């Protein structure tokens, strides 16, 4: 179902709070971190082990990077604690999932699992921030810009699990703004970053998943079908 361009709700994270952004190994990480920083946000980029994603784009000035040594739950929890103590309580989380051609299926499954673990350990801080302002949990996949329903772009279905996670968290975390985004791989880094920013600032919390392709912004909708 086609959607109009989202409205824009100007908000900022409370002082001494952090936006945690995962690194997908593309320039989208750089562009998005820059846009968030220009809004006055404290941004920390979380990079996955280089054995999983080799590329690490340079980051804008003032944006710090934390590199994961492995995907163990203990290590993830430790790094989140260090980030909160060093940079401020995490009030927003944006996961940029790598395109399937960047890493193999085993690595992609490990990254997906790590996002589930990150959600588990971000529950307290995101819900705490939601009591005084807007906190966010966004996931960005690179399927085909049509929720995997198109027939023209080759993609991995593994990252489709992000949509189920995000919708589940939306039910459980009442005060946290949750949204899953599917961006067509044909969109460049600049366009991708701008679209993510638009979704981040959308005041409409009733929409849980959106996709962008050459036809524009769309979402899924159910409709009654007759049975012959």
Helix axes 105-130, 73-87, angle to 10 degrees: 40
How far is 143 from 187, CA to CA, in rounded Å?
12
Other CB atoms within a 10 A radius of the CB of residue 219 amount to 14
Per-residue confidence band for 214, with pLDDT thresholds at 50, 70 and 90: confident
State pTM to two decimals.
Answer: 0.95
Q: Does residue 169 register a pLDDT over 90? A: yes
Per-residue confidence band for 228, with pLDDT thresholds at 50, 70 and 90: low
Other CB atoms within a 10 A radius of the CB of residue 154 amount to 8
Given this model, what pLDDT does residue 226 score?
65
Share of the chain above pLDDT 90, in %: 82
Mean predicted confidence (pLDDT) in 160-186: 96
Mean predicted confidence (pLDDT) in 44-71: 94
Give pLDDT tens digits for 84-106.
999 999 999 999 999 988 888 99
Mean predicted confidence (pLDDT) in 47-57: 92
- Do 19 and 13 contact (CB within 8 A), yes or no? yes
Give the single-character DSSP code of 2: B
Name the CATH architecture for the domain at 17-216: 3-Layer(aba) Sandwich (3.40)
Mean predicted confidence (pLDDT) in 51-74: 94
How far is 47 from 58, CA to CA, in rounded Å?
12
Per-residue confidence band for 129, with pLDDT thresholds at 50, 70 and 90: very high
Given this model, what pLDDT does residue 97 score?
97
Rg of the chain over all Cα atoms, to the nearest angstrom: 17
Q: Does residue 227 register a pLDDT over 80? A: no
Q: Does residue 222 register a pLDDT over 80? A: no
Other CB atoms within a 10 A radius of the CB of residue 209 amount to 20
Counting other chains too, the contacts that 124-127 makes at CB distance below 8 Å and 24 or more residues apart are 125/84, 125/89, 125/90, 125/91, 126/90, 126/91, 126/92, 126/93, 126/173, 126/176, 127/173, 127/175, 127/176
Given this model, what pLDDT does residue 12 score?
87
- Exposure pattern of 37-65 as b/e (b: 16+ CB <10 Å)? beeebbbbbbbbbeebbeebbebbeebeb
Helix axes 161-172, 105-130, angle to 10 degrees: 20
Per-residue confidence band for 225, with pLDDT thresholds at 50, 70 and 90: low
Count of residues for the chain? 228
Share of the chain above pLDDT 70, in %: 97
> Residue 177 has which token pair?
């703004």
């Amino acid at each position: 179902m086609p959607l109009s361009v989202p409205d824009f709700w100007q908000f900022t994270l409370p002082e001494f709070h952090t936006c945690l952004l995962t690194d997908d190994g593309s320039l989208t990480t750089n562009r998005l971190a820059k846009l968030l920083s220009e809004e006055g946000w404290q941004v920390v980029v979380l990079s996955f082990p280089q054995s999983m994603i080799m590329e690490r784009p340079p980051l804008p000035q003032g944006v710090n990077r934390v590199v994961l040594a492995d995907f163990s739950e203990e290590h993830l929890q430790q790094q989140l604690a260090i980030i909160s103590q060093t940079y401020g309580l995490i009030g927003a989380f944006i996961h940029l999932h790598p395109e399937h051609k960047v890493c193999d299926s085993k690595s992609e499954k490990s990254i997906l699992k790590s996002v589930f673990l990150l959600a588990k350990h971000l529950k307290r801080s995101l819900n705490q921030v939601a009591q005084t302002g807007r906190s966010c949990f966004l996931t960005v996949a690179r399927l085909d810009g049509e929720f995997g329903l198109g027939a023209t772009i080759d993609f991995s279905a593994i990252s489709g699990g992000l949509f189920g996670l995000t919708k589940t968290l939306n039910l459980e975390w009442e005060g946290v703004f949750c949204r899953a985004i599917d961006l067509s791989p044909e969109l460049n880094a600049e366009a991708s970053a701008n679209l993510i920013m638009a979704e981040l600032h959308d005041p409409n919390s009733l929409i849980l998943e959106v996709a962008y392709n050459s036809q524009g912004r769309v979402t899924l909708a159910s409709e009654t079908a007759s049975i012959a």
